[in-house]
Amino acid sequence: MNAPIVRTMVLWCPDWPIIAALREAAAAQGLPTQGSTMQGSTALGSTVQGSRAQAAGRSDIPLALIEHGVVFACSAAARAEGVKRGLRVREAQARCPELVVQPYNAVHDNRAFEEVLTAIEAMMPGVQLLRPGTCAIRARGPARYYGGEKPSALALIALLDQLGVPGARVGIADGPFTAEQAARMAGLTTGRSARVQIVPEGASAEFLAPLPVSLLDAPALVTLLRRLGVTTLAEFAALPVVDVLGRFGEAGAHLHSLASGHDSRPVIQRIPPEELDSTVEFEPPLDRIDQVTFGVRASSDRFIEALTEAQLVCTALRIEIDSESGEVSERSWLHPRSFTAADVVDRVRWQLQGSGEVDTGLTSGITRVRVIPESVDAIGHHEVGLFGGGPDERIHHGLSRVQSMLGHGGVLTAVIGGGRTLADRQTTVPWGDRPLLTRQPTQPWPGTLPPPAPTTIFPTPHPVHVLDATGGTIQVDDRGTLSASPAQFSPTGSGRTMRQIQAWAGPWPIDERWWDNETHRRSHRFQVVDAAGMAWLLVLVSATQGSDSSWWAEARYD
């Protein structure tokens, strides 16, 4: 408890979630031009300024970010209309009808603040991230470099203004807790010096004294203290340490020391992540796939070596390919185990090939290939066992070889999901990718076919003819009644292969998404057994504007 108290500078960006959301929106609009300027802090600065110009145009929009149905953060414009944190969405929209509502995304927050942290680290070392929008810096070094605490704080605010983060504030005090409160108390006026609040050394207790106990981040304790009649931090600090320790335990004693200005937490500087990306530039641009893959071979060797040196393996990576005509191709690739150099080269080739399986050549020359590890894991988790990795590894190698012949989508595994039609129910994913089920199999899907499932599902349904006993066509009216019983059908859709129908069942209507004109689907399904004992699943697609009703064979039970 008597550890030396560190003089700390805390930077606080008010409404950071809102700033992050606006930046994300701006980045989504201007992605193709801006994806390439991410190296080093100078390039970063220009990128951020570019998005700042876009964000500035939108900063007056009343925006609210929603989490769990209540407002998590709102912009200044929304706050002026009476929206505040903790309000329910409906209430917030009633107060401000033009409110733009977006879901809160913690990932955006962190990702956007990463840029700010990198920029600060370029200026003063030893930054600790407290939470997105707030970070702590040891004050001693910058204070000596800039000739005082105030000048160093002003330099930091100037940097944030340059990055396009409006209204950042800085507090300097003994320990991060007091410094953060000082930053939050700093004035709201426009002058830069008014946005800095410095609590002199040893004056933390006086500064904290009038503040309410609710600033302590322990809701249960705060409620209890209020009921005990303790409302300010000074009153809490006045309680004897021994009593607080006896009543509230170690956690309570820690909060007590915070309240009395003895915040002994050190500032732990973060270790900047290493740059593991690998980039290859081609000058002059290459227009053949094999040339490009040969060109990236050496760099992907180095890429994997660098990862191995950092004791990491890569399980997902992103490949960005720039072409001469300005197109950017970006794609993430997953690996069921971890990437080797040859796997990386394969992924580059598949991305260039696209869906085409043959070597079709490229429409324009490739100028740059960039490989970025998206998720890495400690190498210890991926060590091959003493006696090899068992049969699964062998299978993976074999299938990867087939993938390198046919392309990534050539080798598939299947997952069974929910849905009404057969095509909806079975989802295929390329070997190595993660299956993504959009329709949950656990939900009830009224209208699905009764088992057994058909064994042959035609990749594309083909047209058939179904006729009644007299050779007339068959219709289903709006009420689901058949005009006549089906008596003969032709599986190829020509008159010569007509077969008698032995048994049939239907119509089973499917009327999906009738509320949406684009995806509305209305059809009737039939099961039919022909004279040879072969069973078919047929679909009668109802007539719509501009097209007659038609019969299709969807599957066969053979």
Name the site residues for other proteins (rule: CB under 8 A).
357, 391, 394-395, 397-399, 401-402, 405-406, 410-416, 422, 425-426, 428, 431, 449-459, 479-482, 485, 503-506, 527, 529, 532-535, 555, 557-558
Shortest separation between residue 295's beta carbon and other proteins, angstroms: 25
Distance of CA 442 to the CA centre of its chain: 25
With CA atoms as reference, report the closest residue to 553 among 542, 543, 539.
Answer: 539
Shortest separation between residue 357's beta carbon and other proteins, angstroms: 6
If the CB atoms of residues 266 and 410 are measured against other proteins, the closer one turns out to be: 410
If the CB atoms of residues 385 and 450 are measured against other proteins, the closer one turns out to be: 450
If the CB atoms of residues 327 and 357 are measured against other proteins, the closer one turns out to be: 357
Here the tokens at position 63 are 């925006």
Distance CA(52)–CA(73), nearest Å, equals 20
Distance CA(264)–CA(360), nearest Å, equals 65
Shortest separation between residue 460's beta carbon and other proteins, angstroms: 10
For residue 398, which amino acid is it? G
Here the tokens at position 219 are 């809701």
If the CB atoms of residues 82 and 533 are measured against other proteins, the closer one turns out to be: 533
Q: Which residues on adjacent β-strands are paired with residue 530? A: 501
Shortest separation between residue 301's beta carbon and other proteins, angstroms: 25
For residue 157, which amino acid is it? I
Give the dihedral sign, CA 484/454/445/436: negative
- Burial string for 267-287 (b: 16+ CB within 10 Å, else e) reads beeeeeeeebbbbbebeebbb
Shortest separation between residue 331's beta carbon and other proteins, angstroms: 21
| 530 three-class SS | strand
Shortest separation between residue 549's beta carbon and other proteins, angstroms: 18
Shortest separation between residue 469's beta carbon and other proteins, angstroms: 12
If the CB atoms of residues 185 and 406 are measured against other proteins, the closer one turns out to be: 406
Here the tokens at position 340 are 């080797």
If the CB atoms of residues 367 and 421 are measured against other proteins, the closer one turns out to be: 421
Distance CA(465)–CA(530), nearest Å, equals 13
If the CB atoms of residues 171 and 507 are measured against other proteins, the closer one turns out to be: 507
For residue 57, which amino acid is it? G
